[in-house]
């Protein structure tokens, strides 16, 4: 009989797809305006979410989360019901029927010396059983990007999928490809995705 652990870690709740019918529930007024567009430091981050056939996905929802211009995570309460003069760091935008999403936000500062600035991006969609995390770095930060540890660890052939491209003054394009040609690099975070007692349950079976 296997030795029983004396401390039982709690069993993690599995993810399920967001499905196609979140449209009346998750999007909210102003959800894509992390920073009011009239603010002088506002930038646009936008793009299209594509599937493995290269077709735009009409039922995805994208969330972003980013530091302020000084690289500090926002801590102000009231993120949904935000003040247009403030900056909440969090945004949520459903794609339109053409698979396109758009946020207004600010360009974050680097959270630590030696890191390049980026926005954290989360993608949910029908057919995506567990959400996907990625990061949007900025193409006008070539020097910082060149030494960023995460970017440097990624296959050079795929690195540019993590970089938003300036396409107009104050505007960056960040397309997300779930599969196939130009597939976006998606991230998993250490120590967060292990079903330790899932393994334990199997041992008891």
Q: What is the DSSP letter of 39?
A: S
The least distance separating another protein from the CB of residue 135, rounded to whole angstroms, comes to 8
Among 37, 41, 73, 98, the residue binding another protein under the rule CB under 8 A is 73
DSSP string, 116-132: PPEEEEEEEETT-SS-E
Q: Which of residues 159-178 bind another protein (CB under 8 A)?
A: 178
Task: Identify the bridge partners of residue 94 per DSSP, sorted by sequence position.
Answer: 61
Helix (H, G, I), strand (E, B) or coil at 153: helix
Helix (H, G, I), strand (E, B) or coil at 84: coil
Is the Cβ of residue 16 or residue 40 nearer to another protein in the bound state? 16
CB 200 within 8 A of CB 13: no
Q: What is the DSSP letter of 201?
A: H
The least distance separating another protein from the CB of residue 70, rounded to whole angstroms, comes to 12
Is the Cβ of residue 47 or residue 89 nearer to another protein in the bound state? 89
Among 94, 102, 144, 150, the residue binding another protein under the rule CB under 8 A is 150
Q: Which residues contact 177 (CB under 8 A, 6 or more apart)?
A: 49, 50, 161, 183, 184
CB 88 within 8 A of CB 33: no
The rounded distance, in Å, linking the Cα atoms of 70 and 108 is 7
By the rule CB under 8 A, 184 interacts with another protein? yes
Among 69, 94, 102, 154, the residue binding another protein under the rule CB under 8 A is 154
Q: Applying CB under 8 A, which part among 72-80, 98-106, 138-146, 165-173 lies near another protein?
A: 72-80
By the rule CB under 8 A, 102 interacts with another protein? no
Is the Cβ of residue 24 or residue 38 nearer to another protein in the bound state? 24
Q: Which of residues 12-71 bind another protein (CB under 8 A)?
A: 12-26, 51-53, 55, 57, 59, 63, 65-67, 71
Q: What distance lies between CA 65 and its chain's CA centroid?
A: 7
Q: Applying CB under 8 A, which part among 9-17, 36-44, 98-106, 164-172 lies near another protein?
A: 9-17
């Amino acid at each position: 009989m296997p030795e029983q652990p004396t401390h039982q870690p709690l069993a993690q709740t599995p993810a399920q797809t967001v499905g196609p019918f979140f449209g009346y529930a998750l999007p909210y007024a102003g959800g894509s305006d992390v920073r009011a567009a009239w603010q002088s430091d506002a930038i646009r981050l936008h793009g299209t979410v594509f599937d493995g056939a290269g077709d735009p996905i009409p039922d995805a929802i994208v969330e972003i989360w980013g530091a302020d211009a000084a690289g500090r995570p926002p801590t102000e309460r009231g993120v949904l019901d935000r003040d247009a003069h403030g900056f909440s760091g969090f945004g949520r935008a459903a794609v339109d029927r053409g698979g396109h999403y758009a946020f207004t936000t600010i360009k974050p500062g680097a959270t630590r010396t030696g890191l390049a600035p980026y926005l954290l991006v989360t993608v949910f969609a029908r057919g995506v059983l567990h959400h996907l995390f990625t990061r949007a770095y900025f193409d006008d930060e070539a020097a910082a990007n060149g030494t960023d540890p995460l970017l440097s660890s990624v296959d050079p052939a795929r690195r540019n999928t993590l970089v938003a491209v300036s396409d107009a003054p104050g505007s960056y394009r960040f397309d997300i490809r779930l599969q196939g040609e130009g597939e976006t690099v998606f991230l998993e975070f250490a120590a967060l995705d292990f079903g330790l007692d899932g393994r334990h349950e199997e041992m008891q079976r």
